[in-house]
Amino acid sequence: MQASGGRNESEVRHAAGPGAKGAERGEAPRSGGNLRGGPTNFDAVYRTRTLSNRAMKRPLIILAAVAVAAALVIGILQTGGTDEAPDATVPSSTATDRALAGAPPALAALHADANALLPGDQLEARLESLRGHPVVVNVWGSWCTPCREEFPLFQEASVKYGKRVAFLGLATQDSEEGASAFLADNPVSYPSYLDFDGALADEYGVLGAPATIYYDAEGQRTYFHQGKYVTAEDFEADIERYASD
């Protein structure tokens, strides 16, 4: 892009999740009725601007190098995974139906869309409809090894807590075919929303998949967990603490 004065200018943006300085976990400050609610210091997140060689300053060069390194680390984490299997028991469809019977109307409507892959532009409306219930949003992708590894934890917890807590999925940077095929093999009691180009994940301040976003019953964003959950104990502790009525 040609900037004024004949200088070349480009911008590289990198989305950073709540919980600064590369931490996998971080509490998000509450912010007025904004369901997306990302921390204000992470909304613009990370920007490196490259001007002409004459105008380039050393701090910007360092900052750009940090951005590249961070991108490489995120890519490795997203596709690498581990051999550690989660300590989760995936409930059968019969057990799921039995456990979720008698759920409040808004949650029952959510369960009626179980395992569906819905358009991403409907996610905000769904969040609004769930006011009065805490919400847990799982950001995942069928291409993401850590996402696949932690998915049984969501299959189990969404049934265990499903009459009190709403669960939603955000399939980011994924194709409809890939996400649908994964859900067919790994059914959950709630719908996912397709974020084909990753734009929604960026808006929510997601650094990379997997990530988990928590809201209280008033629709306030209470917590952001960047990275994979390994144990049911850790995941359920966060649900109990941050998905409050």
Instruction: State the alpha helices, DSSP H only, in the chain.
Output: 40-43, 58-80, 93-100, 105-112, 123-129, 145-160, 176-185, 199-203, 232-242
- pLDDT > 80? residue 39: no
pTM of model > 0.85: no
Distance separating alpha carbons of residues 223 and 126, to the nearest angstrom: 19
Confidence (pLDDT) at 87: 72
Q: Give 122-177 pLDDT, tens digit per residue.
A: 999 999 999 999 999 999 999 999 999 999 999 999 999 999 999 999 999 999 99
7 versus 236: the higher-pLDDT residue is: 236
- pLDDT > 80? residue 23: no
Across 42-46, 132-136, 215-219, 239-243, least confident range: 42-46
234 versus 9: the higher-pLDDT residue is: 234
Confidence (pLDDT) at 88: 79
In CATH, the number for domain 1-245 is 3.40.30.10
Q: Give 52-95 pLDDT, tens digit per residue.
A: 333 334 444 444 443 434 443 344 444 444 445 567 789 999 99
Distance separating alpha carbons of residues 34 and 125, to the nearest angstrom: 12
> pLDDT grade, residue 37 (50/70/90)?
low
Q: Give 171-214 pLDDT, tens digit per residue.
A: 999 999 999 999 999 999 999 999 999 999 999 999 999 999 99
Distance separating alpha carbons of residues 151 and 156, to the nearest angstrom: 9
Distance separating alpha carbons of residues 63 and 86, to the nearest angstrom: 36
Confidence (pLDDT) at 84: 59
Distance separating alpha carbons of residues 205 and 202, to the nearest angstrom: 5
